[in-house]
């Protein structure tokens, strides 16, 4: 932590700052500048002391501003865990160099839809099948998902093809209903639902954590921290688009830069969701390619056997043949950008 004093701060003001630091059992170092003095803290600050100490110091006379040197998140940060996290779950390995694809419809609708979708995503090389049973819809009058029955249909269809499953949970009750599900998904709307993050973390299952459309990267990583601090190291970060300036052609704006930034700051694997970012199937493949070229560890993609009749997010769903082409393309891109001489 660095405390920058205002120009012309008195000796007594500087002493007041160093006294507070010493009283906290920490070591203050005064760094004289041209017309300003900065004070550094040259010892490790216990994590729970960080915010209260910064607030106390900021309120002292002649303190201009207080800057944190280390990140506010600890378990999610590379500062404390330099090696990439590799998630190994029921035969699927994430974060070890291979691009892993999660795919399936936005919502579980029927056994027939799920069986056709499972065959399609399996044929494209997906390892994990998605399907929303609890849908967070903008309107309360829109289809809300099949609930428990949806979970059952997802598990049945995926198992028939040897795929694992991922399902979004909206509250703690849903977490309980997803016992048979392999990966839990926390959606963009719930990124800061801290009780839900904690409940999902407690299951020990891998959790795919979407970034909220208005969330900063630090807020996203602090949300990941809620899961990690439940002794659950299996968090996948997922960028799915930010609030756009122009909604005319795309639903959100994919923040491709979030991939290298999150991977620089954190050791956690990073996925891209090109479907919700684009909102239009025509642009999904291009965004998926961009995400993989930027270093994403995997993709979560909406695929529907009959998008025109989908009950949710039909316009962005890929038909099986488009998904097959995309899956081939991204593996070629991954091979190219991970070959020697790149990156
Ligand atoms: C979804 O995956 O279907 C979904 C609702 O996504 P998001 O939380 O990114 O909007
Ligand atoms: Mn969707």
What is the Cα–Cα distance from 296 to 211, expressed in whole angstroms? 14
What is the Cα–Cα distance from 89 to 305, expressed in whole angstroms? 27
Distance from chain centroid for Cα 274? 13
pLDDT class of 220 with cuts at 50, 70, 90: very high
Nearest CA to ligand 1 atom 3: 106
pLDDT class of 52 with cuts at 50, 70, 90: very high
Which residues have any ligand 1 atom within 6 Å of their CB?
A: 106, 132, 136, 168, 187-189, 210, 240, 273, 276
pLDDT of 219 above 90: yes
- Of 311, 275, 338, give the one whose Cα is nearest residue 102: 275
DSSP 107-176: B---HHHHHHHHHHHHHTT-SEEE-BSS---SSTTS----THHHHHHHHHHHHHTT-EEEEE--SHHHHH
Report, as an integer, the average pLDDT of 333-340: 90
> Is residue 13 within 8 Å of 5, Cβ to Cβ?
yes
pLDDT of 152 above 80: yes
What pLDDT does residue 272 have? Answer: 98
- E-strand stretches of the chain: 2-5, 28-32, 37-41, 63-67, 87-89, 92-94, 100-104, 128-130, 164-168, 183-186, 207-210, 235-239, 270-272, 298-302
Per cent of the chain over pLDDT 70 is 100
Q: Residue 190 CA: which ligand 1 atom is closest? A: 8
Tell me the pLDDT tens digit for each residue of 155-209: 999 999 999 999 999 999 999 999 999 999 999 999 999 999 999 999 999 999 9
pLDDT class of 73 with cuts at 50, 70, 90: very high
Angle between helices 194-202 and 217-228 (to 10 degrees): 40
Nearest ligand to the CA of 312 is 2
User: Which one is predicted more confidently, 79 or 294?
Assistant: 294
What pLDDT does residue 42 have? Answer: 87
What is the Cα–Cα distance from 120 to 104, expressed in whole angstroms? 9
Residue 137 CA to ligand 1 center (angstroms) comes to: 9
Residue 313 CA to ligand 1 center (angstroms) comes to: 10
- Testing ligand 1's pocket by substitution, the residue of 103, 105, 106 carrying the most ligand atoms inside 8 A of its CB is 106
- Testing ligand 1's pocket by substitution, the residue of 144, 183, 184, 189 carrying the most ligand atoms inside 8 A of its CB is 189
- Of 111, 108, 120, give the one whose Cα is nearest residue 305: 120
The dihedral of CA 240, 241, 243, 247: what is its sign? negative
Residue 169 CA to ligand 1 center (angstroms) comes to: 11
Q: Give how far Cα 291 sits from Cα of 239, 298, 308, 310, Å.
A: 9, 9, 26, 26
Residue 125 CA to ligand 2 center (angstroms) comes to: 20
Nearest CA to ligand 1 atom 1: 106
- Of 140, 200, 212, 146, give the one whose Cα is nearest residue 173: 200
What pLDDT does residue 150 have? Answer: 98
Tell me the pLDDT tens digit for each residue of 290-316: 999 999 999 999 999 999 999 999 999
What pLDDT does residue 343 have? Answer: 64
Give Dmax over CA atoms of the chain in angstroms: 77
Report, as an integer, the average pLDDT of 7-26: 97
- E-strand stretches of 26-86: 28-32, 37-41, 63-67
pTM: 0.93
pLDDT class of 243 with cuts at 50, 70, 90: very high
Nearest ligand to the CA of 135 is 1
pLDDT of 2 above 70: yes
Residue 63's φ and ψ, nearest 5 degrees, are -90, 120
What is the Cα–Cα distance from 31 to 33, expressed in whole angstroms? 6
pLDDT of 342 above 80: no
Report, as an integer, the average pLDDT of 46-73: 94
pLDDT class of 338 with cuts at 50, 70, 90: confident
Report, as an integer, the average pLDDT of 2-17: 96
CB atoms within 10 A of CB 226: 26
Residue 2 CA to ligand 1 center (angstroms) comes to: 39
Nearest ligand to the CA of 133 is 1
Give the chain's mean pLDDT.
Answer: 96
What is the Cα–Cα distance from 173 to 196, expressed in whole angstroms? 9
Nearest ligand to the CA of 187 is 1
Report, as an integer, the average pLDDT of 259-284: 98
């Amino acid at each position: 932590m660095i405390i920058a004093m205002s120009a012309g701060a008195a000796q007594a003001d500087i002493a007041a700052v160093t006294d507070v630091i010493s009283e906290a059992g920490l070591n203050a170092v005064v760094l004289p500048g041209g017309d300003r003095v900065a004070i550094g803290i040259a010892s490790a600050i216990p994590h729970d002391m960080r915010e209260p100490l910064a607030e106390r110091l900021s309120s002292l006379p002649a303190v201009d501003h207080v800057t944190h040197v280390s990140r506010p998140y600890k378990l999610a940060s590379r500062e404390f865990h330099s090696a990439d996290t590799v998630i190994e779950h029921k035969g699927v390995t994430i974060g070890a160099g291979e691009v892993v694809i999660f795919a399936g419809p936005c919502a579980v609708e029927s056994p027939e839809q799920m069986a056709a979708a499972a065959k399609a995503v399996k044929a494209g090389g997906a390892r994990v099948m998605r399907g929303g049973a609890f849908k967070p819809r903008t309107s309360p009058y829109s289809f809300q998902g099949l609930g428990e029955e949806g979970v059952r249909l997802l598990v049945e269809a995926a198992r028939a093809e040897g795929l694992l499953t991922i399902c979004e949970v909206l509250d703690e009750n849903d977490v309980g209903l997803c016992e048979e599900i392999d990966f839990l998904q926390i959606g963009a709307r719930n990124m800061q639902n801290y009780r839900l993050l904690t409940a999902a973390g407690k299951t020990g299952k891998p959790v795919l954590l979407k970034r909220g459309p208005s969330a900063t990267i630090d807020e996203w990583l602090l949300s990941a921290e809620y899961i990690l601090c439940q002794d659950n190291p299996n968090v996948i970060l997922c960028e799915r688009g930010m609030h756009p300036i122009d909604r005319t052609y795309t639903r959100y704006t994919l923040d491709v830069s979030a991939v290298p930034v999150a991977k620089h700051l954190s050791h956690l694997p990073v996925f891209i969701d090109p479907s919700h970012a684009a909102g239009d199937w025509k642009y999904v493949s291009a965004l998926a390619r961009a995400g993989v070229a930027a270093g994403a560890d995997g993709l979560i993609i909406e695929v529907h056997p009959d998008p025109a009749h989908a009950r949710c997010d039909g316009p962005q769903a890929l038909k099986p043949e488009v998904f097959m082409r995309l899956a081939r393309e991204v593996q070629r891109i991954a091979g190219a950008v991970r070959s020697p001489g790149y990156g």
